[in-house]
Structure 1
Amino acid sequence: MRAADPGLFGPSSVTWHLHGDPVMWIAGVRALYLQALHPRAVRGVMQNSDFRKDAWGRLMRTANFVGTLSYGTTEAAEKAGARVRRIHRLLKATDPGTGEVYGVDEPELLLWVHCAEIDSYVEVARRSGFPLTPAQVDRYIGEHRESARMVGLDPEGVPANRAELDAYFARVRPELAAGPEARAVDDFLQRPPTPLPLVPARELVWKRVANLAYGALPPYAHELYGRAAPAPGVVDVRLRATGNILRCIPARLRWQLPPKHILRAMTRLGPGSRPAPYKLRGRAAILDGPGRATRGDGGDSARWRTPG
């Protein structure tokens, strides 16, 4: 009998367990704030989509793409990647200062979007209490050279660990600025268009999410936006408290929300494939290598293997 397809990552990956955590929604908002600080990259978005009128649709399309890459079959992931690459090839942006017309699929722009996203997922998860060792962070970043390939990047040119990701941000830092487009993104994330009956919910819930995501940005991003943020320690406390609250919501209930990729993956691969933070915590000794940790989870950890 043919084994079920685990997809690009599979249950033995850090991605499988991390992307099932509810703080990923906060991480996604942080990524938007960070991505907007690259003038050429954010200009491509602003000139090719009306995100103000279809913000939630765009958000769901992005969530569907990430979910397909994380939990879908290999065929579904490859098709999703091909569709994104095809769309990007058709899109152009114009620099208002120089009149230069450029494609939104320029490698340096795709790389910025990718790195801002992966950094946001790691930072928000780690600071909110999700169990990630340094070795697991490195492995996660390395795993997403595969998602970088899906959007058209050469994986060999994509950071493969925390040190390489930090070096990338140090190199690109002089190119970043909070231009008009970044200000528009900031304004939008603070006050997205909302039907009148939902305005109280926006003020009570969404604004707190947006402020928490903003607070989790690196110090240089706060400097560029020129908007104060709480001290890092305060942000960590708030992230951990929010993570604890969100993780109290039963996973099965959370996963019933669209696009339901996790439930479909569990149906395909069996109940043992259920994403869970404790699985990473128990297997940390295997990932960290001999002599670096002594934790384990019995027989389950003995089955843990690093692909490749």
Structure 2
Amino acid sequence: MTDLRDRLGRAVFLRVAGPDGPANRARIHDTPGPRWFGPERPIRTVHGDASMFIGGLSALLLQSLHPLAMAAVSAHSGFRGDPWGRLQRTSTFLAVTTYGTASDAEDAVARVRGIHLRVRGTTPEGLAYHAADPHLLGWVHAAETDSFLRAHERYGARPLDAAGYDAYVADTARVAEALGVIDPPRDRRALAGLLALYQPELRATPEARAAARFLLLHPPVPLAVRPFYGVLAANAVALLPSWARTVLRLPRLPVVEGLTVRPAGLLLTQTIRWAMTPGARSRLE
């Protein structure tokens, strides 16, 4: 069982972190120096938990609802041609800014800001977008933070109390400000208020529906893994706010979700957590 656990843990880590994962992990955790967040900060607890797998997919679905943000992703991110590469770059950024030295975190933010400056264009309707627009960055940040928070609250090994989740939102605000977000929310109430302010701008464009079909129905995973990914996807959908599911035209089946989807999601995250131990925290990070 130990051998099975280790092999499964390595496979998950390499898929999420990529071929450079071991080297990046060593640099992130072993390099001495001050960090943005100390070991006691809630952001470390949330971002180091297996619930991030569900929260990350739910965040992508939620973020797709802003037409300008989705247009930028569709035209410039290459998520269809290289979905695993995009996942690995995103997971590395999260790991560096959460656990790495302050110097490495600042370098990572500078690289992302440089990319954002070059990403601009127009939607099929002729609306201009720019990835460095603080308003769009604010939406991406709010959707991601809310998804990670709610995933941890529902599937986390040790959910935080209300003050802990407020502190998590405050932690993420530091990264958001570094990326160019203006006055990001610093507690859960402000986060909910910001999401509500964005709602009139949101809709399911053809690009958003195509992204949802790709993520939910045609994922780039081997057939043997499809049942497990199906559990992940079902729970990512169930995690979405009800209004977001309505906009994306994703069905809501409360009885089925309560009896089968959520228990399966809890079992999946427990299995991932089991596979990533011993050394679970460092492997997942």
Rg (Cα) greater in structure? 1
**Residue ranges of structure 1 left out of the alignment (5+ in a row):** 263-308
TM-score (norm 1): 0.76
Counterpart in the other structure of 1:146: 174
Counterpart in the other structure of 1:88: 116
CA contact (8 A) 1:23 1:246 kept: no
- Corresponding position: 1:46 with 2:64: no
- Corresponding position: 1:137 with 2:160: no
**Residue ranges of structure 2 left out of the alignment (5+ in a row):** 1-30
Q: How far apart are 1:254 and its partner, in Å? A: 4.4
Q: How far apart are 1:103 and its partner, in Å? A: 1.1
Distance 1:80 1:114 in 2: 16
Larger mean CA deviation between 58-67 and 228-237 belongs to 228-237
Q: How far apart are 1:161 and its partner, in Å? A: 0.4
Distance 1:53 1:72 in 2: 29
Q: Which residue, 142, 152, 160 being the options, matches 1:125?
A: 152
Percent identity reads 35
**For 1:122-151, what per-residue CA distance to the aligned partner results, in whole angstroms no more than 9, with x for missing partners?**
101101143210000100001111110232
Counterpart in the other structure of 1:227: 250
Q: How far apart are 1:250 and its partner, in Å? A: 4.2
1:153 aligns to what SS in structure 2? coil
Q: Which residue, 102, 106, 111 being the options, matches 2:129?
A: 102
Q: How far apart are 1:242 and its partner, in Å? A: 3.1
Q: Which amino acid aligns with 1:246?
A: I
Q: How far apart are 1:230 and its partner, in Å? A: 3.4
Q: How far apart are 1:25 and its partner, in Å? A: 1.4
- Corresponding position: 1:74 with 2:102: yes
1:37 aligns to what SS in structure 2? coil
Q: Which amino acid aligns with 1:66?
A: L
Q: Which residue, 183, 208, 216 being the options, matches 2:239?
A: 216
Counterpart in the other structure of 2:140: 113
Counterpart in the other structure of 1:199: 223
**For 1:47-100, what per-residue CA distance to the aligned partner results, in whole angstroms no more than 9, with x for missing partners?**
113211100000000000001001110000000000100110011020222x23
Q: Give the number of aligned pairs.
A: 251
TM-score (norm 2): 0.82
Q: Which residue, 172, 181, 185 being the options, matches 1:159?
A: 185
Distance 1:41 1:90 in 2: 14
**For 1:182-207, what per-residue CA distance to the aligned partner results, in whole angstroms no more than 9, with x for missing partners?**
11110111234547xx2232x21212
1:248 aligns to what SS in structure 2? helix
Q: How far apart are 1:214 and its partner, in Å? A: 1.1
Counterpart in the other structure of 2:269: 243
2:129 aligns to what SS in structure 1? strand
Q: Which amino acid aligns with 1:77?
A: A
Distance 2:238 2:123 in 1: 30
Larger mean CA deviation between 81-90 and 230-239 belongs to 230-239
TM-aligned CA distance change 1:200 to 1:142, over 3 Å: same
TM-aligned CA distance change 1:83 to 1:226, over 3 Å: same
Counterpart in the other structure of 1:171: 197
CA contact (8 A) 1:52 1:192 kept: no
Please state which structure has a larger fraction of its residues in helix: 2
Distance 2:234 2:100 in 1: 32
Distance 2:35 2:279 in 1: 24
